[in-house]
Amino acid sequence: MNTNLQTPIDYLKGVGPNRADLLRKELGIHTYQDLLNLFPNRYLDRTKYYKINQLKRSSAEVQIIGEIINLKEISQKRGKRLVASFQDETGIMELVWFRGQKWIREGIKLNTPYVVFGKTNWFNGKFNMPHPEMELLSEHKKSVRSAMQPIYPSTEKLNNKGITNRVINRIMQQLFLETKGRFVETLPNNILSDLKLISKSEAIFNIHFPKSQGLLAKAQYRLKFEEFFFIQLQLILKNLINKTKIKGFPFEYVGDYFNTFFNEHLPFELTNAQKRVLKEIRADLGSKAQMNRLLQGDVGSGKTIVAFMSILIAIDNDFQACLMAPTEILATQHYNGLLEWCEQVNISIKLLTGSTKTSKRKEIHETLENGELKILIGTHALLEDKVKFKSLGLAIIDEQHRFGVAQRSKLWKKNLSPPHILVMSATPIPRTLAMSVYGDLDISIIDELPPGRKQIKTVHRYDKNRLNVFKFIRDEIAKGRQIYIVYPLIKESEALDFKDLMDGYESISRDFPLPNYQISIVHGKMKPADKEFEMQRFIKGETQIMVATTVIEVGVNVPNASVMIIESAERFGLSQLHQLRGRVGRGAEQSYCILMTSHKLTNDSRTRLETMVRTNDGFEIAEVDLKLRGPGDIMGTQQSGVLNLKIADILKDKDILMNARYYAKKVLNEDPTLIKDKNKPILSTYQSMGKYRNIWNYIS
């Protein structure tokens, strides 16, 4: 990279301190380099000039050469509008301005050739063009503007302050003049020739000033490949460094705890997928490197037992383990689940959350430091400085996407040497996203359900079928089953949602009256103790129906509940629907999920509902979800900018991503330290990226 690309943007001719300040605040442009990486959103094809008699009633943008023959002001309800009659040799149309009339009037030359550009409307029997872009034909012929005109990302504030697309275009031209359009090559010759990529300088020029559609496409491919290539290179290098530099504790052997549990207390036969994943984890733990593994599996696929058996290996080697979950409900559920297994093999386990009493905390801190306490389950509370382990060998993080990278590294610092890390996720992450976001982790997938589990049957019903649905519920309750009925509760419409929930509860109470039926209700406005009381009644089977808002998404395991009814299902996201459905189907009986909606559905809602009815496969659902929502939302709000990509798009450019990862691996396999001559461009680019920004700028 040219050193001068790190020059502050204030120094570029035509920018100055005020504009620089706005560009920094609104678009994050601090340096020449940042401006260069402000890639256009789209392009307008200015190669074609239309005649007025060729105009069609479409909303396309067109450019026309003609002259203004007269100007008039017309009064309207609010203020005035300025109207110009514009003609060429084939006809006449109007140009209209609703604001800035005085300034426009003063600047217009009558009977002089202009090029006008904009969207046309059909009004009162003729075409008009509101607020056209205008340029004298003589000027138009002189400008270096390319035929394809770039439209840059912008904000309302920039436009209001006069930094229009044209201004950005002008300062971009200035940048190319100052740098002479020469940019250092970042990729080696062998990759350029293998993939027939154009050079860096050519790509940068044609992304901003494309000479043709063809060159624009080549420039986009080249820059997308490069962006993915360096992200993958950093992730794969990070993984290699973890494996070579960061020494893990070698767990030399599998001992009594593991074997006793495996031979005498295993609650069910492990699936082949579970066995395969355990083998992968054991291999990691036995190597001399630190484990960094992501364990993915759908709701109910049996991740917990795999995690527990990994913990037993740590304890067999005289280390402690911890499991961190994002919420108290989830941490408590893990604790209750593991407690029973720990008692069977006589291992101490404790739970630490925000609401743990001080006296209890003190005892946990002491037994943790002297090594008596072997397993600690908890929430963020585990990260507090007071929590010190004698020898933490394995840290398990559940639902990783709710924890940032910084929190992962905090766990590391609890030891002289970092513990092995196992990250668990029940939210299946599409492969492309996993490769980019968790590219530094090795990935294990449990892709089969435990034997005896029946596929949940999912159907979509409209509100008018409600009586049939109620009859179905009665039949299921008569067989001794329990039912969930879930209502949406979304912050923006909380009051309305709450009313819906209460109306729903009343109508269900009428249709399922006491004493034959008992109904629990759980929602966010209740006190925690009341919620817990209602939950427990349902878990014990004292109530047959649980009416709730999405609080039950995580943390309830009632094998006897066989029907999940989701009201206003069109208002839920796909991953939420899938998580909710996973609350049933936990016993041996056939379970059902009924999606209730009104008749009015958007296309996206329809796609979501059809996907749910068609498949139970979390990975397939995640792929559809990714297409509908884009990578930003899918990882939860904490990672809303999952990949702050400048030009590539994880969805549309999946093939380029795969290709870039393949080449990044190939380069590092042959030359892990990038010292070969041919890889010099990669090394210097990589080093300067480290200097000016690193991988975590891409991955929040």
Q: Which residue in 60, 6, 57, 1 sits closest to 29, CA to CA?
A: 6
How many other CB atoms are there within 10 angstroms of residue 607's CB atom?
16
Q: Which domain holds residue 80?
A: 47-144
CATH number at residue 574: 3.40.50.300
Q: Are residues 39 and 54 in the same domain?
A: no
Tokens of 1: 């990279």
- Is residue 655 one of the residues assigned to a domain? no
Average pLDDT for residues 646-662, to the nearest whole number?
A: 87
698: pLDDT strictly greater than 70: no
640: pLDDT strictly greater than 80: no
In one-letter notation, the amino acid at residue 688 is S
Better-predicted residue by pLDDT, 389 or 696: 389
Q: Which helix (H) or strand (E) holds 247?
A: none
Written as one string, the DSSP assignment of 120-156 is -EEETTEEEEES-EEEEHHHHHHS---SEEEE----H
Residue 320 near residue 362, CB atoms below 8 Å: no
- Is residue 83 one of the residues assigned to a domain? yes
Tokens of 98: 């609703």
Q: Are strands 442-446 and 292-297 parallel, antiparallel or unpaired?
A: parallel
Q: Are residues 556 and 515 in the same domain?
A: yes
At 229-277, the pLDDT tens digits run: 998 998 888 888 878 877 788 898 899 999 999 999 998 889 999 999 9
45: pLDDT strictly greater than 90: no
Better-predicted residue by pLDDT, 375 or 616: 375
Q: Are residues 595 and 534 in the same domain?
A: yes
Tokens 């296309």 sit on residue: 603
Q: Are residues 337 and 367 in the same domain?
A: yes
pLDDT of amino acid 417: 75
Q: Quick one: how many helices (H) and strands (E) in the chain?
A: 26, 22
Residue 393 near residue 420, CB atoms below 8 Å: yes
CATH number at residue 108: 2.40.50.140
> What's the rounded Cα separation, in Å, for the pair 255 and 252?
9
Quote the number of domains for the chain. Answer: 4
Tokens of 143: 């400008």
pLDDT of amino acid 639: 38
Bridge-partner residues for 487, per DSSP? 549
At 391-439, the pLDDT tens digits run: 999 999 987 555 555 666 677 677 767 899 998 987 777 777 777 777 7
The top-scoring range by mean pLDDT among 225-234, 329-338, 683-692 is 225-234
Residue 386 near residue 363, CB atoms below 8 Å: no
pLDDT of amino acid 222: 97
> Helices 328-345 & 303-316, crossing angle to 10 degrees?
50
Bridge-partner residues for 64, per DSSP? 50, 116
602: pLDDT strictly greater than 80: yes
Better-predicted residue by pLDDT, 338 or 698: 338
Residue 51 near residue 102, CB atoms below 8 Å: no
pLDDT of amino acid 58: 72
- Is residue 684 one of the residues assigned to a domain? no
Residue 621 Cα distances to 298, 467, 576, 613, 624, angstroms: 11, 30, 11, 11, 5
Average pLDDT for residues 632-654, to the nearest whole number?
A: 61
What 3-state DSSP class applies to 113? Answer: strand
Q: Are residues 37 and 169 in the same domain?
A: yes
pLDDT of amino acid 319: 96
Average pLDDT for residues 200-213, to the nearest whole number?
A: 91
At 553-577, the pLDDT tens digits run: 445 678 899 999 999 999 998 888 9
94: pLDDT strictly greater than 80: yes
pLDDT of amino acid 552: 58
- Is residue 471 one of the residues assigned to a domain? yes
> What's the rounded Cα separation, in Å, for the pair 1 and 398?
41
Q: Which residue in 360, 407, 404, 411 sits closest to 389, CA to CA?
A: 411
At 277-286, the pLDDT tens digits run: 999 999 999 9
Residues whose CB is less than 8 angstroms from the CB of residue 85 and which lie 6 or more positions away in sequence, other chains included? 68, 69, 70, 92, 93, 94
Q: Are residues 12 and 100 in the same domain?
A: no
Provide the pLDDT confidence category of residue 632 given band limits of 50, 70 and 90: low
pLDDT of amino acid 403: 57
At 293-330, the pLDDT tens digits run: 989 888 778 899 999 999 999 999 999 999 998 888 78
Average pLDDT, the chain: 87
Q: Are residues 536 and 389 in the same domain?
A: no
Tokens of 639: 């990672």
Domain boundary among 425, 445, 470: 425
Q: Which residue in 255, 269, 357 sits closest to 305, CA to CA?
A: 269
Rg (CA), the chain: 32
Domain boundary among 587, 615, 643: 615
Q: Are residues 337 and 473 in the same domain?
A: no
In one-letter notation, the amino acid at residue 348 is S
Sheet holding 561-566, edge to edge: 457-462, 592-597, 561-566, 482-487, 545-549, 519-522
Q: Are residues 472 and 600 in the same domain?
A: yes
Q: Which residue in 692, 455, 420, 451 sits closest to 590, CA to CA?
A: 455
Residue 23 near residue 50, CB atoms below 8 Å: no
> What's the rounded Cα separation, in Å, for the pair 235 and 430?
17
pLDDT of amino acid 1: 43
Cα-based angle 584, 589, 593 (whole degrees, multiple of 5): 35
Q: Are residues 536 and 396 in the same domain?
A: no
699: pLDDT strictly greater than 50: no
How many other CB atoms are there within 10 angstroms of residue 610's CB atom?
12
Tokens of 250: 């070698």
83: pLDDT strictly greater than 90: yes
pLDDT of amino acid 408: 63
> What's the rounded Cα separation, in Å, for the pair 457 and 591?
6
- Is residue 434 one of the residues assigned to a domain? no
Residue 305 near residue 261, CB atoms below 8 Å: no
Query: 339: buried, middle or exposed (CB in 10 Å: 19+, 13-18, 0-12)?
Result: middle
pLDDT of amino acid 122: 87
Provide the pLDDT confidence category of residue 127 given band limits of 50, 70 and 90: very high
> What's the rounded Cα separation, in Å, for the pair 698 and 700?
6
2: pLDDT strictly greater than 60: no
> What's the rounded Cα separation, in Å, for the pair 563 and 544?
11
Alpha helix positions (H), 413-459: 431-437
Q: Are residues 333 and 419 in the same domain?
A: yes
Alpha helix positions (H), 442-527: 466-478, 494-511
625: pLDDT strictly greater than 70: yes
At 455-494, the pLDDT tens digits run: 899 999 999 999 999 999 999 999 999 999 999 876 667 7
Average pLDDT for residues 490-502, to the nearest whole number?
A: 80
Q: Which parts of 545-603 are beta strand (E)? A: 545-549, 561-566, 592-597
643: pLDDT strictly greater than 90: no
- Is residue 76 one of the residues assigned to a domain? yes
Domain boundary among 569, 592, 615: 615
- Is residue 449 one of the residues assigned to a domain? no
pTM of the full structure? 0.67
DSSP 8-state secondary structure symbol assigned to residue 553: G
Q: Are residues 375 and 260 in the same domain?
A: yes
pLDDT of amino acid 99: 84
Average pLDDT for residues 448-453, to the nearest whole number?
A: 76
pLDDT of amino acid 373: 97
- Is residue 661 one of the residues assigned to a domain? no
